Amino acid sequence: MTEYDYWKIFPRMPRKVTIGDITIRDGFQHEEKFVSTPAKIFYLEELIFAGCRNIEVTNLGNPVSMPQFRDAEQLLAHLRSDRFKSRCAKKGINYEDICLTAITIRESAVDRAIALKQKGVGPDRILMMVSTEEEHHFANSGTSLPDYWKEAERCIQKCTDAGIKMCGTVSTIWGSPIGGATELKDAVEFTKRWLSIGAHDVEHADHDGSASAANVYRYFSMILDEIPNPALHIAHFHETKRVASASVLASLQAGITHFEATLGGLGGQPANFLDDCPTKGTGDYYYDDPRYVGLVCLEDTLVQIDEMGIEHGYDVNRILWLGKQMEKTIGHRLRSEAVINGRTLKEGHMHYARPGLKKVKAKFGEASDQKLPADWQQTPVLPKRCFI
């Protein structure tokens, strides 16, 4: 007989997951209008109050290239303020459970993070990134892979001395928007390299939506065979073909417990135009239509995981409300279906019920819970063709 218990079929699949939010960084970096500092502070606070404990706050790179993040220090200072800590305490949130991350692709940004740490407003964790496909890596970093690895090794030592965690990201695992097909084994090797030089954890990124569920399951099974501690691995999926939810499921089946998402599925390549002015960003967009490059939706992912009975720590209804507010902030309809259609309610939506069913059943002499004719035999007899 077929085994119906999902957790017996996929014994590595977790009962509890951690979902980090990266809306304010990855989500907003692709927007071609400046999202105001008060709006960023509002969403940072509300995401934390709704249950987020791992949150990307900003990018500490040069704001000349990415002016969306010219308020980086202001955001970090707010989250380090006594006022915010007091608000957390009043809501029963242990401030020490919150991990604030900033992106620092190059060493100058790492040095900036360390300087902010010394001022008392720095991040807990920063991130550097390699791509297994070197053209994509060069587009993001401006240097070669061997040179960047040495820089990363140097930066990790600096961060260790300063008390900052370093996340090493591996990108183009399932393909590159520039160089095309890639090899999964290269990403496994790069993951080992990050950990061997002292990275705290590794983000496994599908930055262009190339991943398929089968290859996601294969890759993360390879990863956990080699490096079995699931706390070291974070799954990061972009949505270009509306299949990222399948990648999330495949990751769960393989045993991954840490994920990232954004409200409304926002995000993608840094904008090369902001408000009324062209900006550097990371150059030309990789896509003919840059609207379809965001991440997997936080709202939809939470609903998916919640309805599987997996613990996640969020107030799902609050996140759905935040998703609706985000559509007003951005000024157009975003990707989440859950913000429109809500959750699947076990109690149903009885306000849609048509009147009169109780009377009809009474008319026919049926019991209130009767679903089949009373004179039918208890067990159905299937025709032989069902067993061919």
- pLDDT by residue (tens digit) across 219-250? 999 999 999 999 999 999 998 888 999 999 99
* Whole-prediction pTM: 0.93
Cα 89 to Cα 81: distance, rounded to the nearest angstrom: 13
Q: For residue 347, what pLDDT is reported?
A: 84
> What does the pLDDT look like over 241-281, one tens digit per residue?
889 999 999 999 999 999 999 999 999 888 999 999 999 88
pLDDT given for residue 350 in this prediction: 86
Residue reference for tokens 């017996």: 8
Q: Which domains does the chain have, with CATH numbers?
A: 6-341 (3.20.20.70)
Q: Residue 150 CA to chain centroid, in angstroms?
A: 28
Name the 3-class secondary structure at 282: coil
What type of residue is 226? E
Structure token pair of residue 11: 């014994």
CB 206 within 8 A of CB 238: yes
Give the relative orientation of helices 145-162 and 107-119 as an angle to the nearest 10 degrees. 10
pLDDT confidence bin for 292, thresholds 50/70/90 = confident
How do beta strands 273-274 and 277-278 pair? antiparallel
**More confident: 14 or 209:** 14
Query: In this model, does residue 290 exceed pLDDT 80?
Result: no
What one-letter code names the amino acid at 34?
F
Of 61, 68, 65, nearest to 27 (Cα)? 68
Q: Distance of CA 82 to CAs 88, 98, 300, Å?
A: 10, 15, 33
Per-residue pLDDT at 289: 77
Q: So what's the pLDDT on residue 288?
A: 78
Q: What is the rounded average pLDDT of the residues 305-318? A: 96
Q: Please, which pLDDT band fits residue 151 given cuts at 50, 70 and 90?
A: very high
3-state secondary structure of 94: coil
Confidence of residue 192 (pLDDT cuts 50, 70, 90): very high
For the cut 90, the answer to whether the pLDDT of residue 345 exceeds it is no
Grouping H, G, I as helix, E, B as strand and the rest as coil, residue 54 is: strand
